[in-house]
């Protein structure tokens, strides 16, 4: 990110969510981002994940300048290069665990048999090889987050963005999920960026950033 700012209009006032942020994250780094509510964490993640464009400045991923790409190109980058994990899991309640993971592969035009095989392998890798046909309501919170992680990783992304991935979990399950994420980070060489309020989670990262008032600094 180079001199990135993002402003929103709220009625007659302008809210500055990011303020002239310049930030470089090397390939393969594990980064934790902390900060108060309203400090800009979600906006920062949206910029890094090609979900929104800055008001000014440039966002680059590899050789692509995201802030200059059209909607279709950004959707393609999200589909292939970036995985997302959310606090609320964002699973589709009417689909099985396997079908939820397969949704990440649907935009890639992959044959159904290949999608199913990859989804099964991904679920096995998070310890849910015996829960393929279970729907979210039949799974614990930790198991639902494992399905979400499998969905994020099944397409082999370069970058994994996790927005409060342990925020809805108890302490023991939090530690299990973090061990899982760290294992994949080391094994696959992912760039892992975690937004968290939990200092115990942030301490596990190689690098810690703090964002407040739209300004990012090293923690």
Per-block mean pLDDT, blocks of 10 residues, the chain (219 long): 93 90 96 91 92 94 89 92 92 97 93 95 96 97 95 95 92 94 93 94 95 93
pTM, to two decimals: 0.92
Q: How far, in Å, CA of 141 to CA of 214, rounded?
A: 32
Q: What is the pLDDT of residue 11?
A: 84
Tally of CB atoms within 10 A around 124: 14
pLDDT at 67: 81
Residues shown for the chain: 219
Q: What is the pLDDT of residue 193?
A: 97
What does 4-38 look like in DSSP terms, one character per residue?
A: EEEEEEETTEEEEEEEEE-----TT-EEEEE--TT
pLDDT for res 203 = 94
Residue 10's pLDDT is 84
Two structure tokens written together for 49: 């994940």
What is the reported pLDDT for 63?
Answer: 86
What is the model's pLDDT at position 12?
85
Residue 206, number of CB atoms within 10 A of its CB: 12
Give the number of other Cβ atoms within 10 Å of residue 43's Cβ: 24
pLDDT of residue 37: 85
- Answer for the pair 52, 40: CB distance below 8 angstroms, yes or no: no
Radius of gyration of the chain (CA): 17
């Amino acid at each position: 990110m180079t001199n990135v700012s993002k402003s929103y209009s709220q009625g007659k006032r302008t809210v500055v969510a990011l303020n002239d942020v310049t930030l470089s994250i090397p390939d393969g780094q594990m980064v934790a981002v902390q900060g108060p509510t309203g400090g800009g964490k979600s906006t920062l993640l949206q910029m890094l994940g090609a979900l929104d464009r800055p008001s000014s400045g440039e966002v680059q991923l590899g050789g692509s300048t995201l802030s200059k790409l059209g909607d279709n190109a950004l959707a393609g980058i999200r589909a292939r290069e970036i995985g997302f994990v959310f606090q609320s899991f964002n699973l589709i309640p009417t689909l099985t665990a396997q079908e939820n993971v397969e949704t990440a592969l649907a935009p890639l035009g992959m044959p159904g048999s290949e999608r199913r095989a990859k989804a099964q392998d991904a679920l096995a890798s998070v310890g849910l090889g015996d829960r393929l046909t279970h729907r979210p309501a039949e799974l614990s919170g930790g198991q639902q987050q494992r399905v979400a992680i499998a969905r994020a990783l099944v397409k082999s992304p370069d970058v994994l963005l996790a927005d409060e991935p342990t925020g809805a979990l108890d302490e023991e399950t939090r530690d299990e999920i973090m061990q899982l994420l760290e294992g994949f980070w080391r094994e696959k060489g992912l760039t892992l960026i975690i937004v968290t309020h939990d200092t115990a989670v942030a301490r596990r990262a190689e690098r810690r950033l703090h964002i407040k008032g739209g300004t990012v600094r090293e923690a």
